Amino acid sequence: MNSRRLYAQSLVHVTNTMTPNANPVSPVRLWTGRILSGLVIAFLLFDAAGKIVLIQPVIEGMKHLGFPDSPELARGLGLLLLACTLLYAVPRTSLVGAVLLTGYLGGAIAIHLRAGHPLLTHVLFGGYIGVLLWVGLWLGNRNARLLIRLWC
């Protein structure tokens, strides 16, 4: 009986914190989050465009990382990155986009680690982008803060 009451109280708390007027985001925090997210989005869109258009440095870089010489693979990765980035850019789907981009960036970290690239400049670069992605989302999105609080 007591656990049901606790569950009901926590459900009411979560519902109340997700209402539009609860915990407003300060303008400084909101704009800092938007700027960080905008920088991440711009970088990822640039990266996706390079893969979709198949510029020569992208093809050479993929060969160096051990990928087969396949324009379809590069375009597929570019389209995947574009879709995940667009999900992140739309406020309503930004949490889903952030989770998907985290997976994509984790794959990039693994590829660079396998290729034996320098740790701080190449291997962890995807991690740096991922941290900026989540910090920008945390600063500007009240639902992201709630979700991160529930995880931690």
Q: Is residue 4 part of a domain?
A: no
* Lowest pLDDT segment from 25-29, 124-128, 143-147: 143-147
- The burial of 139, by beta-carbon neighbours within 10 Å (0-12 exposed, 13-18 middle, 19 or more buried), is given as buried
Specify the pLDDT at position 143. Answer: 83
Q: Is residue 5 part of a domain?
A: no
The domain tally of the chain equals 1
Q: Examine the pLDDT at 17 and tell me if it is beyond 60.
A: no
Q: Is residue 21 part of a domain?
A: no
Q: Is residue 17 part of a domain?
A: no
- Please compute the mean of the pLDDT values over residues 140-147 and round it to a whole number: 84
Specify the pLDDT at position 150. Answer: 81
Contacts with 7 (C-beta within 8 Å, 6 or more apart), sequence order: none
Nearest one of 83, 74, 70 to 44, comparing CA atoms: 83
Q: Is residue 61 part of a domain?
A: yes
Model confidence pLDDT, tens digit, residues 35-57 = 999 999 999 999 999 999 999 99
Q: Which amino acid is at 28?
A: V
Specify the pLDDT at position 99. Answer: 95
* CA-CA-CA-CA dihedral for 92, 98, 99, 103, to nearest 10: 150
- Please compute the mean of the pLDDT values over residues 101-117 and round it to a whole number: 95
Model confidence pLDDT, tens digit, residues 76-101 = 999 999 999 999 999 999 999 999 99
Range of the domain at 113: 28-151
Mean model confidence pLDDT for the chain: 87
**In whole angstroms, what is the distance from residue 103 CA to residue 98 CA?**
9
* Angle, CA of 131, 142 and 108, to the nearest 5°: 20
Q: Is residue 131 part of a domain?
A: yes
Q: How far is CA 58 from each of CA 49, 51, 120, 137, rounded to the nearest angstrom?
A: 10, 6, 21, 28
Specify the pLDDT at position 5. Answer: 60
Cβ–Cβ < 8 Å for 140, 33: yes
Q: Is residue 75 part of a domain?
A: yes
Q: Is residue 88 part of a domain?
A: yes
* Angle, CA of 150, 89 and 24, to the nearest 5°: 50
Percentage of residues in the chain with pLDDT exceeding 70? 85
